[in-house]
């Protein structure tokens, strides 16, 4: 069965070249020329991976990614954009992206990144299936990873995709050591200096939110990683 890719791109010439190369490699491509159509196609087909331009009519790529994350917390998303400032890239990851490729890009590099993400994440899951397995209660808190919301005794927080994935990983290793390298490789794809600093920022955000619950604490272990201590 062919892997299905949702491709949101409003530049017809670039779209045609990319689609030709993807279909030659055996992928089935669903093309959308605007963000709203892309969201509708995602709802209908539940593709295995999404390629999203950022500057599109009706709905930009960042908003589209956030809407997709509300439906499916696990489908891989790659941003393809001419917006190349560091803040643009960071915003792409915060809105739910797994990767960010700057235009003009190499088709060969795009194919490698697609194959890498599909091997890591596998086929997309339905929203119903995800909802059954992604509600977490710990201490006096509750994480809803479908809607990317953390409820603490004092407030409700909207999480970025990376914050949510990091918290889920901490919960998987609750009261045990989560190795830094494992977290970087599973969520960011590698342990580069940039990704390490990015993870430190997200960990700081999570610490501030979890301070609402005295039963919880994230401890840093020098040279090893982190531990979510849960007394509840």
Share of the chain above pLDDT 70, in %: 93
Using the predicted structure, report yes or no on whether residue 202 has a pLDDT greater than 60.
yes
- Return the pLDDT at 123: 54
CATH of the domain at 212: 1.10.10.10
Q: Are residues 182 and 160 in the same domain?
A: yes
Q: Are residues 112 and 192 in the same domain?
A: no
CATH of the domain at 94: 3.40.50.2300
Query: Average pLDDT for residues 99-121, to the nearest whole number?
Result: 86
- Return the pLDDT at 51: 97
| Among 126, 157, 188, residue at a domain's last position | 126
Q: Are residues 226 and 140 in the same domain?
A: yes
Computed over every residue of the chain, the mean pLDDT equals: 86
Q: Are residues 183 and 116 in the same domain?
A: no
pTM above 0.85, yes or no: no
Q: Are residues 139 and 115 in the same domain?
A: no
Using the predicted structure, report yes or no on whether residue 73 has a pLDDT greater than 90.
no
Domain count, the chain: 2
Using the predicted structure, report yes or no on whether residue 154 has a pLDDT greater than 50.
yes
For 81-103, how does the pLDDT look when each residue is reduced to its tens digit (9 = 90+)?
888 787 888 888 888 888 888 88
Q: Are residues 122 and 185 in the same domain?
A: no
| Among 126, 143, 168, residue at a domain's last position | 126
Better pLDDT: 33 or 133: 33
Query: Average pLDDT for residues 125-133, to the nearest whole number?
Result: 43
- Return the pLDDT at 127: 41
Domain limits at 101? 4-126
Using the predicted structure, report yes or no on whether residue 142 has a pLDDT greater than 70.
yes
Return the top range by mean pLDDT from 2-11, 140-149, 162-171, 185-194: 2-11
- Return the pLDDT at 131: 43
Report the range of poorest mean pLDDT among 45-54, 103-112, 113-122, 211-220. Answer: 113-122
Return the top range by mean pLDDT from 30-34, 85-89, 130-134, 202-206: 30-34
Q: Are residues 105 and 169 in the same domain?
A: no
- Return the pLDDT at 232: 58
- Return the pLDDT at 28: 94
Q: Are residues 153 and 102 in the same domain?
A: no
Q: Are residues 30 and 84 in the same domain?
A: yes
| Among 108, 126, 144, residue at a domain's last position | 126
- Return the pLDDT at 37: 96
Q: Are residues 147 and 223 in the same domain?
A: yes
For 187-199, how does the pLDDT look when each residue is reduced to its tens digit (9 = 90+)?
887 777 778 888 8
* DSSP string computed for the chain: ---EEEEE---HHHHHHHHHHHHHTT-EEEEESSHHHHHHHHHHH--SEEEE-SS-SSS-HHHHHHHHHHH-SSS-EEEEES--SHHHHHHHHHTT-SEEEESS--HHHHHHHHHHHHHHH-SPPPHHHHHHH-EEEETTEEEETTTTEEE-SS-EEEPPHHHHHHHHHHHHTTTSEEEHHHHIIIIISS--HHHHHHHHHHHHHHHHHHTT-TTEEEEEETTTEEEEEE--
């Amino acid at each position: 069965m062919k892997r299905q890719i949702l491709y949101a791109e409003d530049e017809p010439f670039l779209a045609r070249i990319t689609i030709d190369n993807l279909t030659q490699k055996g992928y089935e491509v669903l093309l959308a020329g605007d963000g709203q159509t892309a969201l509708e196609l995602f709802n209908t087909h539940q593709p295995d991976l999404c390629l999203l331009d950022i500057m599109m009519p009706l709905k930009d790529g960042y908003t589209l990614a956030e809407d997709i994350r509300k439906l499916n917390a696990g489908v891989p998303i790659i941003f393809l954009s001419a917006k190349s400032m560091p803040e643009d890239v960071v915003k792409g990851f915060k809105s739910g992206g797994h990767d960010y490729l700057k235009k003009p890009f190499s088709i060969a590099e795009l194919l490698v990144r697609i194959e890498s993400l599909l091997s890591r994440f596998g086929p997309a899951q339905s929203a119903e299936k995800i909802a059954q397995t992604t509600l977490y209660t710990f201490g006096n808190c509750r994480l809803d990873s479908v809607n990317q919301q953390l409820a603490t005794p004092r407030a409700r927080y909207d999480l970025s995709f990376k914050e949510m994935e990091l918290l889920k990983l901490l919960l998987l290793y609750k009261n045990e050591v989560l190795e830094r390298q494992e977290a970087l490789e599973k969520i960011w794809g590698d342990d580069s200096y940039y990704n390490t600093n990015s993870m430190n920022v997200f960990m700081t955000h999570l610490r501030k939110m979890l301070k609402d619950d005295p039963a919880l604490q994230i401890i840093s272990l020098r040279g090893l990683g982190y531990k979510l201590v849960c007394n509840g």
